[in-house]
Structures are given as structure tokens and as C-alpha cells.
A and B are shown apart, each in its own frame.
Chain A
Amino acid sequence: MFELSYTLQIVMLGTLMLGAISGMMGTFVVLREQALIGDALAHAALPGIMIAFLLTGIRDLQILLIGAFFSALLAMVVLNVIKRYTNIKFDAAMALILSGFFGVGQVLMSHIQKGGTASQAGLSRFILGQAATMVRRDILFIAVVALVMFLLMMLFFKELKLYIFDQNFFKASGLNERFINGLLTMMVTFIIIIGIRLVGVILMSALIIGPPVAARQLSNRFNINLLLAGVIGGFSGAMGSFLSATGNNLPTGPVIAFLLGIIVLVTLLFSPKNGIIKQTIQIKLYRHHIKKYRRLIHLYENPGLPASHADDYHYFIDHAYVCIEDGQLRLTDKGKRRIKHVKAVR
């Protein structure tokens, strides 16, 4: 079989952990209808990275990520202030913060690297990530963050779940909304920050959104969703890095995102619950039946139509769905069964 090189093992382990934890975290975020918050925060991290570098002059990943963390946190605070004090729609505020913060980051970067254009190589690393260059220390860092996030998630599982499903009830139960909201934001931010290193800013959203969306197609139960999202995320992460390492010059982040996209697509199309294919067929069939048996349904809802309407019903009379009794149109047993069947398609 394959012999996995040490580097590849490292990378696969890293992306597996990242995929699993962001998939689980994403379950909360997507249900809270803030799926794109990850996208906004990831972009907003850029100026923080640059400022951290300007202040320390060190290229050390962990230090730069601390800058990223504060920058993303600032973006989140600004978003909340805008939401609280204006009528601006949240998605508009998010779009502006995402792009505006990124612009500030680009300015800082071009200032650092002087001469405008040379900066772009460094930036594309931020945008698309660079999993292939991970070393043991990076993995340790990711493992620690992922583990802490996982423990926090389990510790506050009950509260998080309640908050996601019913914020009003949560408040009414006397629980601290600010705390749980802050906790959620902080956890998402942390995960995004470690994700940027691996898959980059743009595709981080795939890791947050893809797994929960796919999981949602497979199960209606929250706990199962959470588990499935973790499994799907972890699998795509590890599998993605494996494929990208074996393929010719395949970038890791995009391969993971592509894989996730395929998984989402397959679940959307074929989910036994409400897959597009099953739904489309059933809806077509339902519509067809309703159209075909329109008159029969009408008779069922309005019993006792006089036989003078028989002209409209000759098809159904011919097929023994309807008979004429005492000068009235009557549904036969066959007709009643047919109606039951039509209704049952849903």
C-alpha cells in the first residue's frame, strides 16, 4: 500500500483535526444563521497579522496569529455595534467589514514590503493557505487549540445548544447571553485563525459551512448532526491533503474545499430525507396526480353532485372510480382508495 511520508502524515493529521473541529463548530454557526461570519472574520484577520509583524518584527506564526485574533475580534465587536445602533442589514455590514479590513491589511502589507507589488506572493499564502509546509510544532499548536475548543464545546454543550435553538428562552432561563455569545464568537475566531494557516482565508468558509450542510441532509437530530459534521470535516481534511500530496502540484486548501463541495453536492442530490432528486420526482408525481384526479378530488370534497355532471366524469366512470347512484355521482371504493393514494404521496 501507500507509504506515507512523515511530512504527509503531519499535514494529514493537522487537516484532519482542523476539519473535524471546524465542522463541529460550523454546526452551531450555520444553525445560528451566521454561516458567513467565518468568511468575514477570516478576511478581517489580515491587518492584525501585519500589525503584529510591524510591532515585533518577528515572522513567527504564533505571534502573527495573536495579531490575527485581535483583529478578527475587533471586527466582530464593530459588527455588533453597527447591528445594535443602526438599521443597517447585518449582511451589508459584514460585506463592508470583510472587504474594508482586508484593504487595510493590504495597505499595511504593501507598507511593510514597500513597492506595492512584491507583496502579492505573501498575500496569496494568506489567501490560499499553505498546508504543505507544516511542521511538527504547527501540528501541536493546532492540536492544542482544537482540543481546548472541543472541551469548551462539551463543557457548555447544553447552553450552546439552547442558545442556538431559542435565544429568548435562553434569556428567560436566566442564563448569561453575553457570555455564551462571546464564547461562541471566540471559539469561531480561534478556529478560523488556525485554519487560515492551512487552507487560507477564502476556503475557510468551506470548512465551516460544508460539513454541517451535508450533515443536515443526513439527519434531523442535532447531536448526530454535530458528530457527522465532525466526521465529514475530518475526512475531507485528511483525504484532501492526501490527494493534494499525491497529485501533481495540487494545492491543499482548494482540494479540501473541492472534496467538501462534492460531498455536499452528493448529499444534496441523493439524501434519502429531502434530496433534490427524490424531492423533484415526488413533487412531479404529486402535481401530476393532482392534475389528473382533479375532478375526483372535487367529488370527494363535495359529495352528492347530481348525475347531470356525469359528462365531466366519464373518464372516472369508465375506470370505475365513480358510479351513478340515485341520480348522484358517488365515489366507488376504488375511487376512495385512489384519493387516499394521491394524498399519501406527500
Chain B
Amino acid sequence: MHIEILLVAVLTAMSTSLVGVFLVLRKLSMLTDAISHTVLLGIVIAFMFVGNMTSPWLIIGATLTGVLTVYLVELLMKTNHIKSDASIGVVFTFLFSISVIIISTQLRNVHLHISTVLLGNLEFVMFDRMELFGLDLPASLFIMAVVFLLNVGLLSIFYKEVKLISFDHALAGALGFSPVIVHYVMMTMVSLTAVAAFNAVGAILVIALMIGPPLTALFFTKTLFKTILLTMGIAIFNSVSGYQLSRMMDVTISGMIASVTLLTFFLVFIFAPKKGLLGKLSLHHKQKETLAIQTILIHIHNHAGDIDAAVELNPETLHQHLNWSKKRLDAMLTKAYKQKYITLEGSLLALTSKGKQYYDSLNFIK
């Protein structure tokens, strides 16, 4: 049943990128790197107590460790004035190393391979099944669906509050919405989502799934709601096309989805109309051009009627005075002729009335 794998992939992509929107907007992206690694410790400790890989206690334990990670990172920042990225690095490597040590010494004979947890395995999700309302479903599908609905539900109830706190922390506090509570509820959801996504995509790729779609969407959108909708759309596109490609090429599904996520980001980064790389470069080019034409107009205006006008306003020698190449000057002059800013009076350059108007509109004092 491949449709089941696809469904798990899509639901995972949607849940993770939904919380990702707020991580990106609140500049907490690298915190996911920490959370997604440290939840392993929660899983390991919970497992040592219950001795069962399918117990819901594992999810609870893992989620709590994720929240603990956030707390510890913030504690280090506050008490010892360690910068956020250094505290993230200190906390997550420490907790992660503890979990690896426990696994390799205490849980050697147990079905808990580090690589499975870190890398996930979409291909296998359908072997771990559960029965619900007479339906025989993969456990991951069920868990992902619950987490997705929980995320959507909480977000729609507290949309206003989440938006306010993400945008203006101080005002939120002043208006009586406790930023700390909302922050920790949010971080709990991030941890829960990361844990739920473990089976499918693992600790490392979940970061791309969380951060990639919102980063891509933000190139286009100007409201939060549209950002969320577009993020969901991109997440669906990435997971479906990633799935298809991986089947065609017979490679890992989760890796392919992460790769497609990176690819769509790059494409948008390069080609997005206004905020994209090409758009920015061409805008930059145009601005330079406008500036050059303005320089020519100013030069003509300043030297019109001067004693040395014959040299200064000669299109054949002007480039020396402006310190440009002849080629560049000719190109700019052509543009200026075309826009009817300048004309030739005899062999010398002069402003047209349109050119004079444009010159006057330039506000030099400012």
C-alpha cells in the first residue's frame, strides 16, 4: 500500500512546516536542530522505564526532553551570557551524547538503532500497524494525523495570540497575554511534532521539512495567513514530488523529500519576482543605470554655457571627464537619447525641456 506511505509523508511535511512558520518568524530555526536531536534522550529514558518501543510514554518523554532543551538553552543565555547558538550547541551535544552512550551500553540488544532514530524510515512505516475504529492503519499515519489536527486546532484557537507574540513580544506582555506561556506551549508542539516525525524522516531531515517550506513561502507572501497557506501548499508539493521522484529513481523517500525541499527553495530564491536573486540583481542594475543617466544630466546642466563646454560636453570626450569607459558612456547616452532627456546642439550635448524637468525633479538637498 504505497498510498499509505505517501499519506504519512504528506502529513509529516504539513505538520512540521506548520510549526516551522513560527520558528522561522521568531528566529528560532536552529533550536529545531537541538530539539530534534535531544528528544532521543527522552525516548531512551522512557524506554528504559517501560521497556516497550510502542508505548505512548516514549512520545511524552521525548516531548518533555524537547521542552527541557529549550529551557536549558534559555537558562544558559540568561545566567552566563552565552550567545544563543553557543548555548544550543552546548546543550544539544551533551544531551545527545548521553543518549548515544546509554543506547550503546545499556540497550545493545534492543530494537533501537541509533541510525533508525536519526534517519527515520518512511519505507517501513507500514509494517508498524494499529487498529482503530475497525480500520487497520500504519501507526505513524495515525500519530501524524493526530499531531497535525492538534497543531491546526491549537493554532486556529490561539491564532491571534500566536501572531501577536511572534510579531511584538513586548506589546503582547503589556496587553496581558503571557508570552512565556504561549512560548512554551509552542515549543511543546514543536517537540511533539519533531517526535512524531521521527519514524518517518528522522532527526536531521525533519529540520528541512520544518524550515524549508516557510522560508520558500516568505518570498511571496505579505500576510501571515497567506504565508501559512502557501507553506502548506509547498509542503504538499515537496512531499508528493519527492515521493514520486524517489520511486522513479529507487532511492530513499525521506532524503528525496528533503532534497526537493532544498531545490524548491533554491529555485524560488533565484527566480522569485521581487525578492529573488535575479530580481534583486536586475533592480540593482536598473538603479545603477538611472544613477548614470542622472550623472550625465547633472554634468550637462553644470557645464552648459561654460568656457570649457566644448570639451566637457563633447560626446566623444565626455567619458574621460566622467572617468567611464567609452562603451559605457555610449550605452548610457543612447538610453538618455531614447528617453528624450538630451539632444545634440551642433556637436555638443544639451538638455531637452524634458531633461530639464527631470533635472529639476531631482532633489539634491535631500
Contact = CB atoms under 8 A, between A and B. Distances in A.
Partners in one complex: yes
Interface of A: 30, 33-36, 39, 43, 81-82, 85-89, 91-107, 109-111, 114-117, 119-121, 123-124, 127-128, 202-203, 205-206, 208-210, 212-213, 216-217, 247-251, 253-258, 260-261, 264-265, 268, 274, 276, 279-280
Nearest to A87: B275
Contact of B85 (A33, A255, A261, A268): A33
Contact of B259 (A39, A104, A202, A255): A104
B269 A82 contact: yes
Nearest to A279: B79
A345 B89 CA distance: 33
Nearest to B81: A274
Contact of A250 (B80, B83, B105, B118): B105
A156 B278 CA distance: 37
B297 interface: no
Of B92, B121, B206, B210, most A-chain CB atoms within 10 Å: B92
Main secondary structure of the interface of A (DSSP, over half): helix
B49 interface: no
B205 interface: yes
B85 A91 contact: yes
Contacts of A30: 83, 86
Contact of A257 (B93, B206, B251): B93
Given A43-B204, A106-B255, A257-B93, 13 more contacts: A33-B86, A86-B280, A95-B207, A95-B210, A105-B255, A106-B252, A106-B254, A127-B114, A210-B93, A249-B105, A254-B100, A258-B97, A261-B97
B257 interface: yes
Dominant SS at the B interface?
A: helix
Contacts, number: 229
B139 to A, nearest CB: 19
A43 to B, nearest CB: 7
B252 A119 contact: yes
Contacts of A95: 29-30, 32-33, 207-208, 210-211
A107 B105 CA distance: 31
Nearest to B36: A99
Given A96-B215, A106-B205, A203 B96 contact: yes
B89 A96 contact: no
B255 A36 contact: no
Contacts of A128: 100, 114
